[in-house]
Structure 1
Amino acid sequence: MAAFVGAPSLCTARLVVEKDVSAASSSLVGERVRVGISAVRFCTRKGLQIVGRAMQWDGVNQREPPCDSPRIFFGSNGGISSGTRVLRLRRAVSVQASPKFKQNEDLPPSNVPKNKKKPFVRPVQHGSHAKRMRRREMRLLPPKPLKAPANGLLVKRLMPVAHMVYKAYQVVLDGVSRLLKHIPVRACRWCTEVYVGKEGHTIKTCRGKHCTGRSGEHLWVAGLLEDIVVPLEAFHLVDRLQKPIRHEDRFNHDRIPAIVELCIQAGVDLPEFPTVRRTVPIDRPGWDKVDSGEEPTTFSGLDGMSRRRNTIEEIIDTDDEKAETSVSGGEEQSMVNEGLLDETAEVVGTEDSDDRERSSESKFDVQAINDDDDLKTIAEKTMRAWTKMRAGANQLIQTYPVRACGYCPEVHIGRRGHKLQLCGAFKHQWRNGQHGWQDAALDDLIPPRYVWHVRDVNGPPLNNSLSKYYGKAPAIVELCVQAGAAIPMKYKPLMRLDVIIPDLDELEMVA
């Protein structure tokens, strides 16, 4: 059998030259050849094309063909072309999977060590001596004007994104509450394990109370909405540029969902949560804010007067010269639109190819769930809302600062974390109970609770001996998939759909 030189782990194929393609390659007719691959490239529509040069192989030694020997092209249809003639293979050529679409992914760790800090989103780079001296010289110069949102103004290009994320969050809560009436969900009584199915699995991964007496088995109870959508709360700031909240003032601030607080700071006005909107930027950086001109306007719904909310169309058409920022513009808005579409298409799949042809206003629309929708439609709308919520939140946290504790799940929406002494995680005595703040990742803001993927809902429960063959997925994705929604392209490698699960009596014979 002929092999592919320079391309490890590629399947071998027997190459038979059926016609004399040129005078120089007449010696290769009817003989086995070895092809040295010189280039591999992926095409969008034509598939994989491997370019190689034929090398004569007599079974023992390998010798170079003449210099004017033809170049052989391997196509994705299993054929070989040399010049204008197409040769035929007796056996189809198999190639490696594309790195863009992974075959399998490592499962997320079920038990995260509590004595280690979370990895930083951006690695810490220690500056050189020249950088420190340059920074010291910059401090002596007049301060540069701040850009939004550090100057107190809103980033206008992200205001439609904030409204989309808030609306998608409401659709997700509505959709999951409707799906829980039809799809059974089980949750462990002593730990955070969740299982989407009629009966809980028998995988022994419980680390909760009395786990040693149960040999690590879970004690299943009925699941709730909070088991699918993790309730992560943060402090609501009336002024996002205010000083950090002290430990003594913790009862003077409301606790709301963290994703809602992020949307409020990005431009969503809710009457029940007052906030400050500035029309004039602050003069200098730092904690002491100096406002020139107008006083900041506080929008409050606690005075009994109903205030009309601004729609997305009104926000886009607003022309306020005072609130104009340096980051607003058509190019930046188009970049946000393309980023949202790319992340949405990557998760949902290829079935929404017409989304790129829609207008810019429809890209931020989220389909609400109606009472007459069937179960599959509800699952698809919930999946789409979940995808848009994560994609939009990922855009917001790139501009608006979000802090997360490196030791516990606490999150703060703002440029600096609060000063509460309520962290009881690893080495909290060294920090006087304060949190170890660092830049938050998307999973810190919207934590996906991973559950085991069940291929056959009506089959036997998952077995502990076969746990390495099972895949995982976020709980909301698994819930929507069992309700009839299509499996997202992003989570297919994590679900391990191409792995064949052996039977218990075949387990010893599996390598």
Structure 2
Amino acid sequence: MGLSVVFLLVDFLLRKHLFRWRLSEWRKLLASQVSEAAHQNYKQNEDLTPLRVSKKEKKPFVRPIKHGSHAKRMRRREQKQLPPKPLKAPANGLLVQRLIPVAHTTYDAYLVVLDGVSRLLKHLPVKACRWCSEIHVGKVGHEIRTCQGKGTTVRGGEHLWVPGYLNDVVVPLEAFHLVDRLEKPIKHEDRFKHDRIPAIVELCIQAGLDLPEFPTLRRTVPIDSPVGWQKIYDGEEHAAFNEDNRRSNQINNVESIDIADDVAKTLVSGDGEKQSMLSEENRRTRLTNETGETASIDDTDDPEVSSQTQSASEADVLTISDDDDLKTVAEKTMRAWGRMRYGADQLMKTYPVRVCGYCPEIHIGRRGHKLQLCGAFKHQWRNGQHGWQDAALDDLIPPSYVWHVRDVNGPPLKHKLARYYGQAPAIVELCLQAGAKIPLKYKPRMRLDVIIPDLDELEMVA
């Protein structure tokens, strides 16, 4: 009898201590989450991009690989034995209707960015290194020794500055234009049969943008399952999209295409008047979601998209006229840059974008192409093919970070003081020097609260 009482008392004490331990651990976890959220909302400074990136390192995955448990693998094995579920847009070949205005707005913002940067370059000088891809916004290039190009050991890492142009600020990343985004991957011997266009434009085309010079197949009947993909290519290739008239945009009087017993009925898109799905006013001002609610483009939590002048109309924001002064052009370019990145981010969450893990090659589609043109690290092991993985937003729209110059008329940036300087995207730095306001998103990286010492004070700084 006494032994059982002892066991009960010991069990009670163990349960009591276990409850207290769990309560303390739960409080620690809650406090860490609150402090982490507060740190994310109120960042003072942000780590800069590394000056020297090893070419042997693969790009980090957008979604980390999670090793599933045995029960999860068994569940997947059981699901494979069941009949395939019907695919949803855009995997079934149809467009996502709520993202069509996003595609149009993103393309319009892209055109405004090109126009605005070309106008700003006529008044603000930009320097580009002759031997590497680094650029600098200012009259005189900086003296920070970060060059990795040819002859860098002889020059001690110093840059050789030459005048910069539009392609140095807006990196021209190109991708293959797919007439049918569900077609088979492009082979190496067929690489000259497909056009190369800017990657952001190809993403907008696949999301619903219609350009006359780049025809696209638009399906009206969804594909029921992945098995239907093979049925599409059993028939003969339609004569409207052969090698000759693919570039000249000559459609042989064809309005609809029936392939493989009405498995994939498609429409030839390329005529802007016939294929306009939304009116000009509607697609420029509103976004319609799946629930039927409407939301303005500016009503977002992203600081890039938040407009500084809410009273201005959408057409005024996304249009640069010849009467605008330099500051107005910079503000409109900055606003268009934020909306282009926000729109591309929304499209990439639905439409797959692939990037090589070793080189900048990018592909818009569910599967990467089969070209054997990758010359990056260990390309011999892959027979020259690219190592495709999910792309991040910076892979599609490279920000091209440059050193932030606080005093444009001051001395050039010194190599010994590089730890005190901040960075900003090239377009943002160009607009700031033209008179635009600093977006809240880029202030932590620009390190505006750090006092830059002189060279004679460097030894006394902690």
Using the size of structure 2 for normalisation, the TM-score is: 0.80
Structure with the larger RCO, 1 or 2 (CA within 8 Å, 6+ apart): 2
Q: 1:502 to 1:349 in 2, by over 3 A?
A: farther
**1:217 equivalenced with 2:168 (yes/no):** no
Structure that is richer in helix per residue: 2
Residue in 1 aligned with 2:265? 295
Partners of 1:227 and 1:315 in 2: CA distance? 34
Partners of 1:123 and 1:495 in 2: CA distance? 29
Residue in 1 aligned with 2:304? 347
Partner amino acid for 1:448?
A: P
**Following TM superposition, by how much is the alpha carbon of 1:154 offset from its aligned partner in structure 2, in angstroms?**
0.3
Contact 2:105/2:343, CA 8 A, preserved across alignment? yes
SS in 2 for 1:464: coil
Residue in 1 aligned with 2:253? none
Residue in 1 aligned with 2:122? 181
**Following TM superposition, by how much is the alpha carbon of 1:313 offset from its aligned partner in structure 2, in angstroms?**
2.5
Match of 1:246 among 187, 196, 204: 187
Partners of 1:342 and 1:151 in 2: CA distance? 31
Q: 1:98 to 1:125 in 2, by over 3 A?
A: closer
* Cα offsets for 1:370-418 (capped at 9, x unmatched): 0000000000000000000000100000000000111100100000000
Partner amino acid for 1:310?
A: S
Q: Which runs of 5+ in 1 are unaligned?
A: 1-38, 41-96, 318-326
* Cα offsets for 1:102-134 (capped at 9, x unmatched): 111111112221111111000111222222222
**Following TM superposition, by how much is the alpha carbon of 1:137 offset from its aligned partner in structure 2, in angstroms?**
1.6
Residue in 1 aligned with 2:169? 228
SS in 2 for 1:272: coil
Question: Alignment RMSD, CA only?
Answer: 2.5
**1:114 equivalenced with 2:48 (yes/no):** no
Partners of 1:436 and 1:208 in 2: CA distance? 24
Aligned-pair identity (%): 70
Match of 1:131 among 50, 68, 72: 72
Residue in 2 aligned with 1:459? 410
Partners of 1:285 and 1:391 in 2: CA distance? 31
Match of 1:426 among 355, 374, 377: 377
Partners of 2:292 and 2:447 in 1: CA distance? 41
Partner amino acid for 2:230?
A: D
Partners of 1:467 and 1:403 in 2: CA distance? 34
Residue in 2 aligned with 1:151? 92
Match of 1:447 among 382, 398, 404: 398
Q: 1:452 to 1:391 in 2, by over 3 A?
A: same
Residue in 2 aligned with 1:487? 438
Partner amino acid for 2:290?
A: S
* Cα offsets for 1:70-92 (capped at 9, x unmatched): xxxxxxxxxxxxxxxxxxxxxxx
Residue in 1 aligned with 2:337? 386
Residue in 2 aligned with 1:409? 360
Question: What does 1:2-401 align with in structure 2 at a 5 Å threshold?
Answer: 99-286=40-227, 287-289=229-231, 292=262, 295-300=265-270, 307=273, 310=276, 312-313=278-279, 328-331=290-293, 334=295, 341-343=300-302, 346-347=303-304, 351-352=308-309, 354=310, 366-401=317-352
> When the two structures are aligned, how many residues end up with a matched partner?
394
Match of 1:470 among 398, 402, 421: 421
Partners of 1:365 and 1:163 in 2: CA distance? 16
SS in 2 for 1:330: coil
Partner amino acid for 1:271?
A: P
Contact 2:116/2:320, CA 8 A, preserved across alignment? yes
Partner amino acid for 2:123?
A: H
Contact 2:298/2:307, CA 8 A, preserved across alignment? no
Partners of 1:226 and 1:232 in 2: CA distance? 10
Partner amino acid for 2:382?
A: R
Residue in 2 aligned with 1:27? none
**Following TM superposition, by how much is the alpha carbon of 1:488 offset from its aligned partner in structure 2, in angstroms?**
0.8
Structure number with greater Rg is 1
**Following TM superposition, by how much is the alpha carbon of 1:341 offset from its aligned partner in structure 2, in angstroms?**
1.8
Partner amino acid for 2:276?
A: N
Partners of 2:454 and 2:410 in 1: CA distance? 12
Q: 1:275 to 1:130 in 2, by over 3 A?
A: same
**Following TM superposition, by how much is the alpha carbon of 1:310 offset from its aligned partner in structure 2, in angstroms?**
2.0
Partners of 2:90 and 2:306 in 1: CA distance? 34
Partner amino acid for 1:249?
A: D
Contact 2:298/2:305, CA 8 A, preserved across alignment? no
Residue in 2 aligned with 1:15? none
